Structure 1
């Protein structure tokens, strides 16, 4: 086979990646102008072979797309502008020929408005795994054997149980939505697939209160940007990415003198869930961090400039650096995320109501009634946070 993949390879940190631009006449079928992903190898020979196979598959698929886009008599009558097999029985209509790739496009088009880019990427990535393993088939053609083969392939890749659960959840959501949208009477074979959901999952330990106090004392002594971030997370339970992506103006003092942080989505840092959008009172070490941030000259709009230098909040960089520093002061295995687990336990220790704790941490609260109103006043949240700080 002719090696056509060389120009589609690039090397990043020792790992080969596939990168190919989508032809201009087919851009309308894609959400991005290029296709880029890791080939999961450091070997050029292996990477070249994998990229070559990917290129051939793309060329075949693009030929298919171009043939579908060709002018055909009665094309305007085709659903979604795509040709579909007609029933040999003129009295029987068989609409259940929507393929999984088309189902993804329907799902993203109708449910993706206002969602972060990660929503679309997750749908394409997870269903792309199914297509790579089982093929891009009509929804009605997928079987339980396909779902089991999909599961086995994910396990062979070494994915943890939690990662497999997340991928299966996305595939089920796309499949069920596409089926409902098309009015098909089929059930998803990707439901009730067994695997060990705890396989490879590391238990994230909460940080003991005495260790939190020791860490906070070190933050007060060292008094730099990295320690301000630790102090802010320690007494709020914020996710590290939430805190690292804050603007200076997101942290402000109210008329009554209380400091708060407004956690909202930004172009450089999205939020994990809708319930993550919230206002968190800052007490204890978090209040100290807010004061130290605003005592500095306004050289940057970001509260933590070192983690916002490339148009995206680099929470991975923050996590690596802070976890390395933190391990001197906390039990083995504890990380920055342990502050979030600890905050939940600290709120339980002062008998804080669960829905108040959910609002403080941005956790989802079940129940229809929880969607009514605007939530607890900040004074109530501040009182409970003060009790643990």
Structure 2
């Protein structure tokens, strides 16, 4: 047993941990390239035993994932690519159900609604409904009951999830369930609706960073003058999402026909956008303009504006967030993060009485109303005027 599993354990502060790389051909099913968690023991023997069981379970599951994708004779005849168990015989009569199981509902949902959607959309559907299957089993949709939904809720609460996280998971499960029910013409009501839990538990509001602290941060960025600080400076005076900024190409940052700096935010293979309204042009003023000039002034021309966060084919926004949040702590209030600059930008635009639809276009927020779907939106000269006033 030790020979099998010792490569899957490591020790940190006396506690044994399990670690295993996800095979390259299965990476699309995971949000990380490795699986790592505490084995909750200081005993090497116990750790090896637990690691061995975990490794065997993973091998079985990975085999299951690979066989699902295998090319089988007659695969095109299988419903949604999955086979169904043969009907059970009860009292000499065949009992069948043609209702989708939850795992099939996920495939239907993603096949029809997942076209062109970011990887996070697909991952959320698989993960959230996977939680249901772990707790309640993979049943035909009509077989799920309110007791199953309550059991699922209790399991999420036991995991220590905040109310906002539970709300997000339930929202995804309801979307999948209701879509599949409508698509199949089933006359059932989702048991995952109207499930009670404390939605405010563990939720802490994301605070804005005061303007005086923003000025301090911007001054420190100019003093240090490196790639990480250019990224902070871009976000501080635009309110961009961190991933939006970190995934920019050098050519996405340019001067328009009037000689003014602009950032073009569009989806890329290495970094998708959260919503359709996230696609936009953002004028660069204040510290963002300074950062644009510093990026383009570099003699060693590189493809990415921030190459250190784009070395693996995917923009590593998590790495950027961890490193920059750690640096920010010395200059901002407790609990403030890089995302707080986005909240601050909204507050700064409100403070100068910027119209809501202009603020929405600057930040890539969705604006309600049919009319907002027409035309190209405000020209960058109008957006720049309000950003200069706010910054």
Given that 2:164 and 2:199 are in contact with CA atoms closer than 8 Å, whether structure 1 keeps it comes out as yes
In structure 2, the partner of 1:46 is: 50
Does the Cα contact within 8 Å between 1:15 and 1:38 map onto a contact in 2? no
State the TM-score, normalized to the length of structure 2: 0.84
The CA distance in 1 between the partners of 2:327 and 2:73, in whole Å, is 60
Displacement of 1:138 in angstroms is 0.1
Residue in structure 2 matching 1:352, options 351, 354, 358: 354
- The answer for the alignment partner of 1:191 in structure 2 is 193
Residues 353-383 of structure 1 deviation map (CA, whole Å, 9 limit, x = unaligned): 1111111111122233322222222111111
Give the number of aligned pairs.
Answer: 375
Equivalent in 301, 305, 311 of residue 303 of structure 1: 305
Aligned residue number for residue 290 of structure 1: 292
> TM-score with structure 1 length normalisation?
0.84
More displaced stretch, 255-264 vs 210-219: 210-219
The answer on whether the counterparts of 1:84 and 1:97 sit within 8 Å (CA) in structure 2 is no
Mean Cα deviation higher: 175-184 or 49-58:
49-58
In structure 1, runs of 5+ residues without a counterpart are none
Q: 2:43 maps to which residue?
A: none
Q: CA separation in 2, counterparts of 1:141 and 1:20? A: 33
Where in structure 2 are the equivalents of 1:20-99 lying within 5 Å?
38=35, 40-42=37-39, 44=47, 45-53=49-57, 82-83=83-84, 96-99=98-101
Cα distance, 1:154 vs. partner? Answer: 1.0
Deviations 1:126-166 (A, max 9, x none): 11111111000000000111111111111111112222111
Deviation at 1:189, TM superposition (A): 0.7
CA gap of 1:64–1:274, structure 2 versus 1, over 3 A, is closer
Over aligned residue pairs, what C-alpha RMSD do you find? 3.6
- Give the Å deviation of 1:50: 3.9
Question: For the Cα contact (< 8 Å) 2:174–2:190, is it kept in 1?
Answer: yes
Aligned residue among 378, 381, 385 for 1:379:
381
Q: 1:10 to 1:373 in 2, by over 3 A?
A: farther
Task: Give 1:386 shift.
Answer: 1.0
2:103–2:129: 8 Å Cα contact kept in structure 1? yes
How far apart, in 2, do the equivalents of 1:8 and 1:121 lie?
Answer: 28
Describe the shift of the 1:19–1:96 C-alpha distance in structure 2 as closer, same or farther (beyond 3 A).
Answer: farther
Instruction: Work out the CA distance in 2 between the residues paired with 1:199 and 1:128.
Output: 23
- 1:242-295 per-position Cα deviation (integer Å, ceiling 9, x unaligned): 111111000000010111101111122121222111110111111111111111
Structure 1 residue 304, shift from structure 2 partner: 1.1
- Unmatched tracts of structure 2, length 5 or more: 41-46, 90-94
Show CA shifts across 1:160-188 (max 9, x none).
Answer: 22221111111111111111111111111
